[in-house]
Amino acid sequence: MTLLQVDQLTKSFSGLRAVSDVDVTVTDGEFLGIIGPNGAGKTTLFSLLAGQLPPTSGRVVFDGQDITGWPADKVAGAGLVRTFQLMRPFESMSVLENVAVAAHHRHRSRRAARRHALEVIERVRLAEYVHAPSGSLPTAGLKRLELARALALEPRLLLLDEVLAGLVPAERAPIIELLREIHADGVTVMFVEHIMAAVMALSERLLVMAEGQELALGDPQEVIRDPRVVEAYLGEDYA
Ligand SMILES: Nc1ncnc2c1ncn2[C@@H]1O[C@H](COP(=O)(O)OP(=O)(O)OP(=O)(O)O)[C@@H](O)[C@H]1O
Ligand SMILES: [Mg+2]
């Protein structure tokens, strides 16, 4: 079943087409990797899908509903949730408070929101920091908090923007494992990442963007051998 259908999606910033006529269909339950050079439009695509930016033209259909131009709150309410490349938790608030704010969108009572937040915090293995101010977390902890805030919104489709950036290799493996678990629990994932080992380990299909457009889309092993992808992004050494 199709969960997300994107038709001819375009975003122009005073003449620059950051996202240009993108068509992509995401099946319920899949894990779609997205790669491409800096400035390719990956984050902008997420902002268009999740409602942080209105598209210049094109259409986004999620779970059978045309959500084009919906504000972020309403999109998240429908089950499409993104994380941010630049994380921005409320630093003076504790981990629990930060996640509870997100959980409140799904649970009206404070108690229920708190209980749900605690479950999510356990799930991302942040329990030892539950009462710590978010600003005191190390980078890997901030990444887990960013995941927890997204999960507290109970996404059906989760857009992950460089959740591994800034982590040393030893810190990446447990986060990759966590992403696998989240996906195994039935969450559909779109995963923007520059760490190719993680992209190849997780992606069932791979979309390559360059200059706002789709450069290639398909089986990850085939896509990374595509000469245009090697030229635009991966380089001869990787191939
Ligand atoms: N709010 C904005 N106003 C003007 N230009 C923007 C804005 N946001 C992004 N851009 C431009 O749009 C293009 C795409 O940017 P975007 O952040 O989507 O790329 P990206 O693929 O996520 O890159 P990276 O891998 O570096 O995160 C870039 O040229 C960027 O400078
Ligand atoms: Mg980006």
Residue-by-residue DSSP string for 145-205: HHHHHHHTT--SEEEEESTTTT--HHHHHHHHHHHHHHHHTT-EEEEE-S-HHHHHHH-SE
Distances (CA, A) of 160 to 40, 94, 224, 232, 235: 16, 23, 20, 22, 24
| C-alpha–C-alpha distance, residues 182 and 202, integer Å | 12
Place of tokens 């293995």: 125
What integer is the mean pLDDT of 195-202?
96
Q: pLDDT at residue 121 above 70?
A: yes
d(CA 157, ligand 2 centre) in Å? 18
What was the pLDDT predicted at 24? 96
* Residue 98 included in any domain: no
Looking at the domain assignment, is residue 204 inside a domain? yes
The whole domain housing 161 covers 2-79+155-238
Q: What is the pLDDT of residues 137-186, one digit of tens each?
A: 999 999 999 999 999 999 999 999 999 999 999 999 999 999 999 999 99
State in Å: Cα 35 to ligand 2 middle. Answer: 10
Mutate to test the pocket of ligand 1, among 44, 161, 199, 209 (most ligand atoms within 8 A of CB): 44
In this predicted structure, the answer to whether residue 86 has a pLDDT above a threshold of 80 is no
- The number of folded domains in the chain is 1
How many angstroms separate the Cα of 9 from the Cα of each of 20, 24, 47, 61? 6, 9, 12, 11
Q: What angle in degrees, to the nearest 10, is found between the helix axes of 169-184 and 139-151?
A: 10
CATH number of residue 71's parent domain: 3.40.50.300
